[in-house]
Structure 1
Amino acid sequence: MRPLRHGYTNDTQGDGVVVVKRYQGGIDEVLRRGTELGVLERLPPGLPVPKVLGAPEGALKLQQLPGMHGQDLIDEGLGRPVLRSCGELLRRLQQVDVSRVFPDTAAGTGWVVVHGDFGPNNMLFDQDTFKVTGLVDWEWAHPGDRIEDLAWCEWIVRRHHPRAVEDLDDLFSGYGVRPSWARRQQAAAARCESFVERFRSGPAAARRRWQENLSITLSWTE
C-alpha cells in the first residue's frame, strides 16, 4: 500500500483495491471513526460511496473507488463541470431519509444528511463525464441544515481555489438553488468557529489556523 494524495488529517493508504484509513489528529479519533462507519453502513444504495470491507481497531478498510480527485481537476481549469456535479450530487444526498442514516433524528426537524466536509476536496470524478465516482471521508457527518454542505463546498473553492470562484455559478446551477450570500457566509463562518472551539484545548497551531480561516471567511464579499 502507498499513502494516498490529498490526505490531510488521517493516515490513508491504498493499493488500488482497498483503502486503509487510520484515524489521527489528536482529538476525537474514536468518535470520527464510529461516525464514518455508521454512516457508510446506513446510506442507501446508489450513492457513490465506498463499501466498508472491515473495521480493525482504530481504522477502517474501505473499497478504493476510481476517478480523478476533484481538486486536481479544478487546478487543471475544469472547475465548471466539477462544481456542477458537486451541486447535483448534493441535491441527491439531501433527498435521503435522514432518519435512516441517523436513527435518533426527531421527525419534523427539516434536517438533512450533512456530509460535514462536502466539496471537491473529498470527491472523485470520471475524467470524461465529470460524474462523481466517489464521495469519501464521512467522519464529520451529522443531521443538520441543508445550507451547511453547500456553503462549505463554496468555502473550499474560495479558500483553496480562488481562481475558480467564477465557476461557483455552476455549483448553484447543479444544486438548483442559490441561497443568499448572508446565509452561505454565516454557515461557513459557523463551521470555522466550530473548529476554533474544537482546538481550544488542542494544538495551538491548529487553533490559530482556524482563527485565521474564520477571519478570512468573514472578510469575503460576494
Structure 2
Amino acid sequence: MRPLRHGYTNDTRGDGNVVLKRYQGGIDEVLRRGTELSVLERLPAGFPVPAVLGTPEGALELEQLPGLHGQDLIDEGLARPVLRSCGELLRRLQQVDVGRVFPGTAAGTGWVVVHGDFGPNNMLFDQDTFRVTGLLDWEWAHPGDRIEDVAWCEWIVRRHHPRAVADLGELFAGYGVRPSWARRKQAAVARCESFVERFRTGPTAARRRWQENLAVTRSWSE
C-alpha cells in the first residue's frame, strides 16, 4: 500500500481498493478510532461514506472510494461547484436521525450529526458532476449544533484557500441558509479553542499550531 495524499494526522495508505487508516497524532487515538467505526456503521445506506472492511488493532480497513479530492479541485479554480456540493451534502447530513447515529442523544435538543472536520479537505467529488462521492474522516463526529459544520467548512476555506473566500456564497446557497457572521465566527473560534485545550498536554508542535490558528481566526472579519 502507498501513502495517500492529504493525510495530515494519521497514517493512511491505499492500494486502489482498500484504505488502511492507522490512528496517530499523540492524543485520543483509541477514542477517535472507535468514534469513526461506530458512525460509519450507523449512517444510513446510500450516504457517501466508505464501507468498513476490517478492524485491525489501532486501525481500520476501509473501502477506497472514487473521486477527486476537494482541495485539489479548489486549487484548480473550481471552488464554486465544490462549495455548492459541500453545502448540499451538509444539508442532507443534518437531516439524518441523530439518535440513530448517536444512540442515547436526548430528544428535543435540536442537535444534529456533526462531522467535526467537515469541508473539502475531507471530501471526494465526481470530476464531471461535482457530486460528492466520499465524505471521509469521521473521527471527530459527535451530536451537536448545526452551526458547527458549516462554520468549519468556511474556516477550512478561509484558512487554507484564501483565494476562494469570494466563492463562499456557493456554500451557503447549497446549504440553503447563510447563518450570521457572528454565529459562524463564534463557532470557528470555539472549535479552535477546543483543539488548543485538547493538545494542552499533547505534542508541542500541535499545540502551537492550534494557538496560531486560534489567533488568526479571532482576527477575521467578514
TM-score range, shorter chain: over 0.9
Q: Once the 2 structures are TM-superposed, how far is the Cα of residue 42 of structure 1 from its aligned partner?
A: 0.3
**Is 2:113 aligned against 1:113?**
yes
Q: Which residue of 2 aligns with 1:91?
A: 91
Find runs of 4+ consecutive structure 1 residues off by over 3 angstroms: none
Q: Which residue of 2 aligns with 1:130?
A: 130
Give deviations 1:60-82, integer Å, cap 9, x for gaps. Answer: 00000000000000000000000
Q: Which residue of 2 aligns with 1:144?
A: 144
Give deviations 1:180-200, integer Å, cap 9, x for gaps. Answer: 000000000000000000011
Superposed counterparts of 1:175-186, under 5 Å:
175-186=175-186
- Structure 2 residue ranges without an equivalent (≥5): none
| Aligned residue identity for 2:196 | V
CA distance in 1, matches of 2:106, 2:17: 38
When the two structures are superposed, what TM-score results if normalisation uses the length of structure 1? 0.99
Q: How many residues matched?
A: 222
When the two structures are superposed, what TM-score results if normalisation uses the length of structure 2? 0.99
**Is 2:186 aligned against 1:153?**
no
Q: Which residue of 2 aligns with 1:78?
A: 78
Superposed counterparts of 1:46-61, under 5 Å:
46-61=46-61
CA distance in 2, matches of 1:166, 1:198: 32
| Aligned residue identity for 1:72 | D
Q: Once the 2 structures are TM-superposed, how far is the Cα of residue 161 of structure 1 from its aligned partner?
A: 0.1
CA distance in 1, matches of 2:109, 2:15: 42
CA distance in 2, matches of 1:216, 1:20: 34
Give deviations 1:122-171, integer Å, cap 9, x for gaps. Answer: 00000100000000000000000000000000000000000000010000
Aligned-pair identity (%):
87
CA distance in 1, matches of 2:202, 2:58: 20
CA distance in 1, matches of 2:26, 2:211: 18
Q: Once the 2 structures are TM-superposed, how far is the Cα of residue 106 of structure 1 from its aligned partner?
A: 0.6
Q: Which residue of 1 aligns with 2:204?
A: 204
Q: Which residue of 2 aligns with 1:65?
A: 65
Q: Which residue of 2 aligns with 1:20?
A: 20
CA distance in 2, matches of 1:7, 1:194: 21
- Structure 1 residue ranges without an equivalent (≥5): none
CA distance in 2, matches of 1:123, 1:154: 14
Q: Which residue of 1 aligns with 2:30?
A: 30
Give deviations 1:11-56, integer Å, cap 9, x for gaps. Answer: 0000010000000011100000000000000000111000000101
CA distance in 2, matches of 1:45, 1:203: 38
2:127 is paired with a residue of what secondary structure? Answer: coil
Q: Which residue of 1 aligns with 2:163?
A: 163
CA distance in 1, matches of 2:10, 2:3: 10
CA distance in 2, matches of 1:50, 1:209: 30
Q: Cα RMSD (Å) of the superposition? A: 0.4
CA distance in 2, matches of 1:71, 1:209: 20
1:124 is paired with a residue of what secondary structure? Answer: strand
2:53 is paired with a residue of what secondary structure? Answer: strand
Q: Which residue of 2 aligns with 1:189?
A: 189
CA distance in 2, matches of 1:27, 1:205: 13
Q: Once the 2 structures are TM-superposed, how far is the Cα of residue 104 of structure 1 from its aligned partner?
A: 1.6
CA distance in 2, matches of 1:182, 1:34: 33
1:5 is paired with a residue of what secondary structure? Answer: coil
